[in-house]
């Protein structure tokens, strides 16, 4: 549903130009047509996009030790991260990593505001990619606006379909790559080419592809405004010493048009020429000159836009700039504040702890299960025998041979006597062993300790306790 009404939102776009109001899933809103802007921060963002999308799309294709370097193998319940293999028992590391990630978000938000939103958030990154495809097919901002208002024609249909083809193809490839992090991507690609993709792989490829298409092509700034939880609470990390994208009101006002070469103060004006470029480039469609607004994702496009105008007018740059509230009030900015110190210290401690914990992580694990069917079995020799299943986990990069030992009160005998098991890299080996003891020489139930040791490295050892049962006297 589209209807055309005169522009009501001040500054967007110049009053008198009709605005397309789109009935969206969330609320009626004026469609935002961000203008392309070059400049320092745009270059920085483009760099971030290339690096991040490059990592995302290339990572699943990188191999490490004959397997995919980064693979979250859900069916096998193992996560491969280059040389490391994580098991469900290592869930603490994942939680730990998430805590580190959120703390760094707090830390960087407290110092520099919403840098995450402006440069690194997947929403920003994919929206920019989709916008680029839109520019390639439909042209720049003015052309896009004109095209949307023009009646349907062959040319309009061609441009719109070209855009959709690019979008859908890119979104589908994104969905495929996403699934490639969970299911070996080379096999996945072969299945796609043979049209033999499994039902769930198909479902998740389409699901993630549709999510990419919807979020980056369709919802865009509305994700940031209405859907993002971080956008709602990020202001809690802000204070007067946080860097924000801001308009220097004292320098800019009163705004107004003027000829080049005119000294602003001589004609009673500030430095703002009211060119509205800062509004046109804004991906969320706000006017930064109204002050800090929760919609602002700190992408700094308005800084680039304003700087280009300041350069042309021969005024100093920075009418719109990254600044803190204190610096705008001509007070000094305090970088080291209690919240920054607390976030920073916690972040350092947790990161150091994580690195140490991963480095010291034992690449061997042991679980012992007592036979479920019988507590013990009496042998002719007068011994009681218990049967156990040892689950020996080799999280190491290479296969290992583990020797089993058992210890506990009384004389415990292991069968087979010198049990040793070859466990391939990244596998769990189920080994059946029997333990015997003179039936009447000890308690009816006692705790015993199992131990597995790598035969070529005595430091590589895992222990686990189990119960041993014998008949009661």
Please report how close the Cβ of residue 89 comes to other proteins at its closest, in angstroms: 9
CA 413 → CA 289, 386, 470, distances in Å?
A: 82, 11, 14
Count CB atoms within 10 A of the CB of residue 438: 15
The nearer residue to other proteins, 91 or 440, going by C-beta atoms, is: 91
* Helix (H), strand (E) counts: the chain: 15, 19
The nearer residue to other proteins, 228 or 346, going by C-beta atoms, is: 228
The nearer residue to other proteins, 173 or 204, going by C-beta atoms, is: 204
Please report how close the Cβ of residue 428 comes to other proteins at its closest, in angstroms: 11
Please report how close the Cβ of residue 151 comes to other proteins at its closest, in angstroms: 28
The nearer residue to other proteins, 214 or 318, going by C-beta atoms, is: 214
Please tell me whether residue 276 adopts helix, strand or coil conformation.
Answer: coil
- CA–CA distance, 387 with 380 (Å, rounded to integer): 17
Residues paired with residue 392 on neighbouring β-strands, in sequence order: 366, 429
Chain positions contacting other proteins, by CB under 8 A = 25-27, 74-75, 77, 88, 91, 94, 183, 198, 200-201, 203-204, 227, 229
Q: Are 464 and 366 contacting, i.e. CB atoms less than 8 angstroms apart? A: yes
The nearer residue to other proteins, 17 or 98, going by C-beta atoms, is: 98
The enclosing H or E element of 173 equals helix 154-180
The nearer residue to other proteins, 27 or 456, going by C-beta atoms, is: 27
- For 135, which DSSP code? H
Please report how close the Cβ of residue 430 comes to other proteins at its closest, in angstroms: 14
The nearer residue to other proteins, 294 or 335, going by C-beta atoms, is: 294
Residue entry with tokens 């839109």: 134
Q: Which residues of 309-335 are buried (b: 16+ CB within 10 A; e: fewer)?
A: bbeebebeeebbbbbbbebbeeeeeee
Please report how close the Cβ of residue 20 comes to other proteins at its closest, in angstroms: 19
Please report how close the Cβ of residue 229 comes to other proteins at its closest, in angstroms: 7
Q: Are 306 and 287 contacting, i.e. CB atoms less than 8 angstroms apart? A: no
Count CB atoms within 10 A of the CB of residue 414: 16
Please report how close the Cβ of residue 232 comes to other proteins at its closest, in angstroms: 12
């Amino acid at each position: 549903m589209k209807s055309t009404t005169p522009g009501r939102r001040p500054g967007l776009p110049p009053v008198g130009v009709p605005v397309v109001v789109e009935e969206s899933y969330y609320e009626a809103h004026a469609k935002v047509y961000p203008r392309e802007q070059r400049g320092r921060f745009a270059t920085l963002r483009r760099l971030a996009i290339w690096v991040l999308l490059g990592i995302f799309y290339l990572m699943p294709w990188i191999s490490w030790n004959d397997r995919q370097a980064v693979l979250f193998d859900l069916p096998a319940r193992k996560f491969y991260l280059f040389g490391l293999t994580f098991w469900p028992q290592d869930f603490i590391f994942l939680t730990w990593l998430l805590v580190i990630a959120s703390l760094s978000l707090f830390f960087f938000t407290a110092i520099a505001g919403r840098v995450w939103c402006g440069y690194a958030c997947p929403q920003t990154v994919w929206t920019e990619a989709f916008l680029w495809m839109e520019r390639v097919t439909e042209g720049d901002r003015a052309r896009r606006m004109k095209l949307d208002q023009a009646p349907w024609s062959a040319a309009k249909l061609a441009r719109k379909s070209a855009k959709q083809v690019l979008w859908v193809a890119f979104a589908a490839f994104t969905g495929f790559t996403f699934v490639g992090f969970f299911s070996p991507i080379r096999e996945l690609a072969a299945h796609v080419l043979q049209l033999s993709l499994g039902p769930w792989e198909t479902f998740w490829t389409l699901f993630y592809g549709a999510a990419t298409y919807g979020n980056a092509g369709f919802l865009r700034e509305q994700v940031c405004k209405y859907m993002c939880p971080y956008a709602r609470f990020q202001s809690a990390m802000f204070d007067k010493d946080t860097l924000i994208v801001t308009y220097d009101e004292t320098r800019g006002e009163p705004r107004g048009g003027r000829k080049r070469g005119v000294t602003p103060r001589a004609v009673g004006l500030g430095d703002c020429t009211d060119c509205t470029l800062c509004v046109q480039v804004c991906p969320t469609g706000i006017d930064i000159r109204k002050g800090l607004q929760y919609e602002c994702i700190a992408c700094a496009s308005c800084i680039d836009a304003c700087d280009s105008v300041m350069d042309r007018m021969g005024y100093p740059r920075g009418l719109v700039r990254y600044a803190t509230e204190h610096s705008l009030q001509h007070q000094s900015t305090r970088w080291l504040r209690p919240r920054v110190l607390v976030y920073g210290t916690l972040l350092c401690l947790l990161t150091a702890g994580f690195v140490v914990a991963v480095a010291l992580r034992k690449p061997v694990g042991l679980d012992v299960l007592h036979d479920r069917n019988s507590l013990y079995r009496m042998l002719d020799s007068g011994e009681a025998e218990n049967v156990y299943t040892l689950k020996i986990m080799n999280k190491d990069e290479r296969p290992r041979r583990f020797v089993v030992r058992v210890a506990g009160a009384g004389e415990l005998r292991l069968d087979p006597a010198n049990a040793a098991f070859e466990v391939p890299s990244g596998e769990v080996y189920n080994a059946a062993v029997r333990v015997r003891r003179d039936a009447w020489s000890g308690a009816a139930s006692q705790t015993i300790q199992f131990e597995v040791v790598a035969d070529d490295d005595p430091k590589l050892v895992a222990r686990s306790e189990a119960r041993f049962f014998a008949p009661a006297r």
